[in-house]
Structure 1
Amino acid sequence: MPKQILLIIFIVIFGSFNSFSKGIIQKDSSKPKTISFKIKLKSADKVKIAVSPLKYNKHLAYSFTLDDGYRSAYLTAFPLLNGGKISNSSINEWKIDQGGDGTVSEGLFYSDGMGNKIPFKLALAINGGSIRYLPENRGHLSWSEIKEMYNAGWDILNHGFHHATKHGTNYKTEVTENTTSIQQNLDFTMSHFVVPGGEGDEKYYLEYEKEALNNGHFSVASYYGAGPVFKVDSKVDLDKMISARTFVQSSKDTTSFKTMDKYLKTIDSIVKQKDPVWFNEFTHGTGNTNLWNLSIRFPEFKYYMTTLANKYGLKGNDSIWMAPWQEVYEYIWLRDRIKVDFQQKNKELIVTIKLPEIPETFRNRDISLNVETASKFQIESNKDLKIKDDGKTTHKQILIQLK
């Protein structure tokens, strides 16, 4: 038998859909539909197709969230990961340094497996009531800063409008008012909730969980729940998911990276698992000061993220899919609901994928398929399909973008 190789077919499904001569795409992306396409092989060897557990067939999906919408996310974390000028020391209105080291970052990346690099992306859990433009040394993000990060692929999660937790909190209003605030200012609907921490009535977080799930959110990160490590080699129960939230934080020791090394050791142990997994973590600020003693100082944050990139990103074994919570959730949700069929006749393969009705609030409608074949190939389609592949060289992947 010739050695089998892995072919990943990555399908990006978004926007309106048009019909094309080599298959069928029904209109209206939120409704059930069927797509199909043809693969022409160089040989008649049998082909096997299966859905990839994770996007790009990665081994580790790692989601990292910054709580409370602090400005250090924009001043330090965003330019470090996405590439750009990291802020110098920046003392905010609370006399806390939310800046970084003033260097220029080239960005931290993993690849899609086809020679294209993708920057590490995080999520922001924000409180709409705290977002503002003044004073100039404000501690929280502005709407334009959040929009810039969102447009770069960072996800925005609901964290309550006022970050209220104390006795007398109207939990439903906190959830829904924050949703409305983001809709009005940023023109999208949040669909995942992060319970704010703080003083409150006993088990107040249960009220937040209930109101979030009852008011349009698909999942909640809370004090207790599933995870934070999820096995994804089989169907994942995402129905009204409540996930345990764990934090990465600096210690009092400012002279070494020993604390970060402990967190990195945990990830090392997760990566060594045989089957693919999804791991989810949180912190607050990423500036030079350990904000509220619940954050990561920038030098440690830079060391932590750079080490991840060097080990598991483009410069390492490239096994990581560094994507925020919502992006990973939506991939797994769709992955578990599609139906894939393929028919091979000699050197031609017709692939048919039945898609479910996709919630309108989904931001990502992507799916990856693994195909085992020993043959080089080419894709047959018309101008309505944007397709990239390496079928004539390493014949491992195809990228299909449906308009």
Structure 2
Amino acid sequence: MKTALLLLFLTFGISSFAFAESDSLKKLPKTITFKIKLKSAEKIKVTASRLKYNKHFAYSFTLDDGYRSAYLNAFPLLNGGKISNSDKNEWKIDQGGDGTTSKGLFYSDGFGNKIPFKLALAVNGGSIRDLPANRGHISWPEIKEIYNAGWDILNHGFHHATKHGTNYLTEVTENTKSIQQHLGFTMAHFVVPGGESDEKYYLEYEKEALNNGYFSTASYFGAGPVFKVNSKLDLDKMISARTFVQSSTDTTNFKTMERYLKTVDSIVKKSDPVWFNEFTHGTGNGNLWNLSMRFPDFKYYMTTLANKYGAKGNDSIWMAPWQEVYEYIWLRDRIKVDYKQKNKEIEVTIELPEIPETFRHRDISLAIDTSSKFEIESSKDLKIKDDGKTTHKQILIQLK
């Protein structure tokens, strides 16, 4: 008998309270229970899924520095919408795109719903402004729109300072306050700013970020950028190595992008599920500071990923920002799942850990091996969607 994989997806609603660094955790863990009623009395197994939606690999992509091309091009390409025409910014660099309208790039959640690819922005609050019209950086309304669409915002230092005389603590904390003031949330992950710098300055940023409420940093050296996720992952004060995807001087074809895509393909072909992280800067027609992806390259790269691994391909990708994947794995490794089966009925009990207040994402997937169709019985407080009568592979539980 073939075994189908039953995926239970849980979204945790956590009440908010005033955040304080010395008291950033919820005091009381919560427990939820529900029943699975099978059509046959076969034995089943309940485990935490290694990745959300039980995907084979998670791919996180971050745009550094909050350049406006993120809003003009990258966001509409992935989320769907009108991509900017050519747009010369205040630095006389074209941050526009090809002027086309994108239908979006998607993977599926396993319920037949398409989810748009999402990236992260690593931003400097001191550079975010609304004027001039041809500004090089994103504005507050634009960053809010991106955030509300599910993209994550990461701390990149308030001024992007890297030289002698930098107050690293102030760079971290002032950027935290800036985002809190303008957007109303507390960032939880830090990306060390690069560029002209003093020797080993990044160590100071890592120290100040991790000592002031941030759960992880992306830096010059560290773990990854490929993480095996088939077992518990050490996320405590994580420092991850940052690698970049960038355009070359060759503008006649996509050979450079193909090399990057071959790297992704070699990672995906591994039997174990993985989490892979990459970065770039601008995504406009001009190769901003020669540290970016020209829009044709960016479009080719992301479209190829979507066509091969997204909803139009084998649908094995979970295209989600660094913060979302980190927080999923953190929760996955800390929930306690218990289940008791009596003939065709399984009672599932899930004890939730104390969850940091600054966590934005509180989703957990549980995998259950079964070939039986099923129904769910739960309290009215649980909002549950399932496909137990059809493909009988997963259940969505959204807590209020």
TM > 0.5 fold call: yes
Match of 2:380 in 1: 383
2:113 to 112, 116, 119: 116
Percentage of identical aligned residues: 82
- Whether the aligned pair in 2 keeps the contact of 1:58 and 1:321 (CA below 8 Å) is yes
Structure-1 separation of matches of 2:303 and 2:341: 45
- Whether the aligned pair in 2 keeps the contact of 1:51 and 1:370 (CA below 8 Å) is yes
Residues 183-194 of structure 1 correspond to what in structure 2 (within 5 A)? 183-194=180-191
Matched, 1:12 2:11: yes
Matched, 1:226 2:244: no
Structure-1 separation of matches of 2:6 and 2:197: 52
How far does the alpha carbon of each residue in 1:291-346 deviate from its partner, in whole angstroms, 9 at most, with x for none? 00000000000000000000000000000000000000000000001111100111
- Whether the aligned pair in 2 keeps the contact of 1:14 and 1:29 (CA below 8 Å) is no
| CA shift for structure 1 position 138 | 0.3
Matched, 1:176 2:165: no
1:85 to 64, 82, 87: 82
Residues 275-290 of structure 1 correspond to what in structure 2 (within 5 A)? 275-290=272-287
How far does the alpha carbon of each residue in 1:351-370 deviate from its partner, in whole angstroms, 9 at most, with x for none? 01111100000000010011
| CA shift for structure 1 position 43 | 1.0
Structure-2 separation of matches of 1:357 and 1:4: 34
Structure-2 separation of matches of 1:8 and 1:16: 26
Flag structure 2 segments of 5+ consecutive residues without an equivalent.
17-24
Structure-1 separation of matches of 2:318 and 2:27: 26
Residues 158-307 of structure 1 correspond to what in structure 2 (within 5 A)? 158-307=155-304
- Whether the aligned pair in 1 keeps the contact of 2:328 and 2:361 (CA below 8 Å) is yes
- Whether the aligned pair in 1 keeps the contact of 2:108 and 2:310 (CA below 8 Å) is yes
Structure-1 separation of matches of 2:146 and 2:197: 31
| CA shift for structure 1 position 134 | 0.4
Match of 2:21 in 1: none
| CA shift for structure 1 position 386 | 1.2
Moved over 3 A (4+): 28-31
Cα distance 1:295–1:159, how it changes in 2: closer, same or farther (>3 A)? same
Residues 275-354 of structure 1 correspond to what in structure 2 (within 5 A)? 275-354=272-351
- Whether the aligned pair in 2 keeps the contact of 1:82 and 1:108 (CA below 8 Å) is yes
| CA shift for structure 1 position 71 | 0.2
Counterpart of 2:9, as a letter, is: F
Residues 93-104 of structure 1 correspond to what in structure 2 (within 5 A)? 93-104=90-101
Structure-1 separation of matches of 2:190 and 2:336: 29
Structure-1 separation of matches of 2:27 and 2:303: 38
Match of 1:145 in 2: 142
Matched, 1:35 2:32: yes
RMSD: 1.1
| CA shift for structure 1 position 200 | 2.1
Match of 1:20 in 2: none
Counterpart of 1:211, as a letter, is: E
What SS is found at the alignment partner of 1:65? Answer: strand
| CA shift for structure 1 position 15 | 3.4
Cα distance 1:30–1:56, how it changes in 2: closer, same or farther (>3 A)? farther
| CA shift for structure 1 position 381 | 2.2
- Whether the aligned pair in 1 keeps the contact of 2:163 and 2:196 (CA below 8 Å) is yes
What SS is found at the alignment partner of 2:61? Answer: strand
Match of 2:54 in 1: 57
Structure-2 separation of matches of 1:34 and 1:41: 23
Match of 2:66 in 1: 69
Structure-2 separation of matches of 1:286 and 1:396: 38
Structure-2 separation of matches of 1:41 and 1:158: 47
Structure-2 separation of matches of 1:36 and 1:385: 9
What SS is found at the alignment partner of 2:298? Answer: helix
Structure-1 separation of matches of 2:141 and 2:380: 36
Structure-1 separation of matches of 2:57 and 2:2: 25
- Whether the aligned pair in 1 keeps the contact of 2:26 and 2:356 (CA below 8 Å) is no
- Whether the aligned pair in 1 keeps the contact of 2:337 and 2:349 (CA below 8 Å) is yes
Structure-2 separation of matches of 1:259 and 1:358: 42
Equivalenced residues, count: 392
Match of 1:25 in 2: none
| CA shift for structure 1 position 31 | 3.3
Counterpart of 1:224, as a letter, is: F
2:357 to 360, 363, 377: 360
TM-score with structure 1 length normalisation? Answer: 0.96
How far does the alpha carbon of each residue in 1:142-200 deviate from its partner, in whole angstroms, 9 at most, with x for none? 01100000000000000000000011100000000000000000000001000000222
How far does the alpha carbon of each residue in 1:23-77 deviate from its partner, in whole angstroms, 9 at most, with x for none? xxxxx97731111111111111111111110000001100000000000000000
Cα distance 1:183–1:16, how it changes in 2: closer, same or farther (>3 A)? closer
What SS is found at the alignment partner of 2:63? Answer: strand
Match of 2:22 in 1: none
